[in-house]
A = this chain, B = another copy of it.
């Protein structure tokens, strides 16, 4: 059975690039929209748009939190634009901590690849869900809720996290409160924190006001 190619391909004539939209690789030079970046022209897309090597090495954990978060969101990993998924790498040196934070735009699943991590989140009705995770354990953190990760062992820990959004956002509580020019008086009124505490952390994190 030999199929005449020229005939078969007439079937496909109408299936141009514009007719389908399997993906929408981010074109960072174009405008942004409420649902993601505009798309790179299909003809310019290559397999490298769908592969990202930036999570192969850990971030620098020689900092005060002894931790590093390396994201692969749509601005770095253009292929996930519009697909509702992204990743990040989490390196925790001994004593390392990913401070209390939220992702306003997506839920997160974490898998421990090495070491041990104490992870938890707090729900809207103020219940705390936390547990010490060992290698191979996974934990889900529902969208928008405060959560944290702490190295719970005597060795460095490595985890990968995935998000239900290609740009989930990351609001780190201390940076949101103390690393900008939000007046101390407003912070104190809205958090009940003492003035000395607020000013101390503003000093540390570079905030003013």
Interface residues of A (CB under 8 A from B): 1-5, 7-12, 14-24, 27-28, 30-39, 42, 46-48, 50-53, 55-57, 59-60, 62-65, 67-77, 79-87, 97-100, 102-109, 111, 113, 118, 120-131, 133-146, 148, 150, 160, 162-164, 167-177, 179-182, 186, 189-194, 197, 200-201, 203-206
User: Are A167 and B20 in touch, CB under 8 angstroms?
Assistant: yes
User: Are B56 and A137 in touch, CB under 8 angstroms?
Assistant: yes
Count identical subunits in the complex: 6
In Å, the complex CA distance between A30 and B133 comes to 29
User: Are A137 and B171 in touch, CB under 8 angstroms?
Assistant: no
In Å, the complex CA distance between A162 and B159 comes to 13
User: Are A107 and B84 in touch, CB under 8 angstroms?
Assistant: yes
